Amino acid sequence: MGKILVGTASWTDKSLLASGWYPPDAATPEARLGYYASRFPLVEVDATYYHPPAERTAELWRDRTPPGFTFNVKAFSLLTHHPTRPAALYKDLRAALGEPRRTLYLRDVPPEVAEQVWARFLSALRPLREAGKLGALLFQFPQWFTPGAASRRHILECRDRCRPARICVEFRNTAWLDERHRRETLAFLEAHDLPYVGVDMPQGHPSSVPPVLAATSDLAVVRLHGHSDKWTSRVIEERFGYLYAEEELRDWAGRIAKLSGEAATTHVLTNNCCADNSQRNAARLADLLAEHGADVVHPAGPPGS
């Protein structure tokens, strides 16, 4: 079995801060990240999907976590063909956009602006990469990103642009994983050494994909979103308001333990981020994986330890 890192997709959302999961003395951003890193060896940064990160922020993440801690970072929305608010772009690049729009897509942006967004997004993460703390960049593609040659070329472009950092790929169009395309999709990812992201999420929605697990590289990634019956809500606490039951976690522990036998490293991230649901489920899942004999990575301790 390969090693397994378990973590969550947030450590700063408001409902978590209000839940009481953090002790009273973890009252600053530095103290909260330090406390989180004492409990888990891995975290996913989702805020970078909405706003490109600043290099100074990445330096703080690096300095506030111990050696061996791992950050997976979600790619900025513009780079994955998602709608993006112009205000989220770097201020000096907005002038090149012409007439204001409510939302932008990558196709709407001049090539020179797109080049700058790519360069600045990746440059900002250099402190994490140089410190060995950057795990994978999560490229979650939208439901309108359909199987085909153009989509595959874009995935490879993302991979090439991000090197030497690595990417992992999550689909939100079920056609990539239906009976007709699943084998071809996984073979494509494996042929190009691209980690596939298996997801658990509510079914029956346009963005739903089946909970397929597969190792297509030496890194495998699993993201657990829960099964909220309010998946389409704009309220984050409703969309992700789900707590996995013990039986569900036991089932996932078995599946993930099996997956870890096919990859050198497996990242498991709970994204049911409402109150401390994600932290509670991640901690229990790590225990259940250990019961399966999996090589679960433990937190390294406080920064500088």
What does the alpha-carbon distance between residue 272 and residue 242 come to, in Å, rounded to a whole number? 6
The stretches in the chain having pLDDT less than 50 are 304-305
Domains and CATH numbers, the chain: 3-296 (3.20.20.410)
The reported pLDDT for the residue numbered 232 is 81
CB distance 63 to 131 below 8 Å: no
Asked whether the beta carbons of 266 and 5 are under 8 A apart, the reply is: yes
What's the CA gap between 270 and 225, in Å, rounded?
6
Separation between Cα atoms, residue 260 and residue 196, nearest integer Å: 13
Give tens-digit pLDDT for 252-277.
999 999 999 999 999 999 999 889 99
- pTM of the predicted model as reported, rounded to 2 decimal places: 0.95
Helices 55-63 and 111-124: crossing angle in degrees, nearest 10, is 20
Contact 129, 165 (CB under 8 A): yes
Mapping DSSP onto H, E and C, the string for 32-92 reads HHHHHHHHCCEEEECHHHHCCCCHHHHHHHHHCCCCCCEEEEECCHHHHCCCECHHHCCHH
Residue 302 pLDDT: 58
Q: Which pLDDT does position 305 carry in this prediction?
A: 45
Q: Report the alpha-carbon distance of residue 240 to residue 243 in Å, rounded.
A: 9
Q: Phi/psi of residue 146, each to 5°?
A: -95, 160
Q: Which residues make beta-bridge pairs with 265?
A: 3, 219
Mean pLDDT of the chain: 94
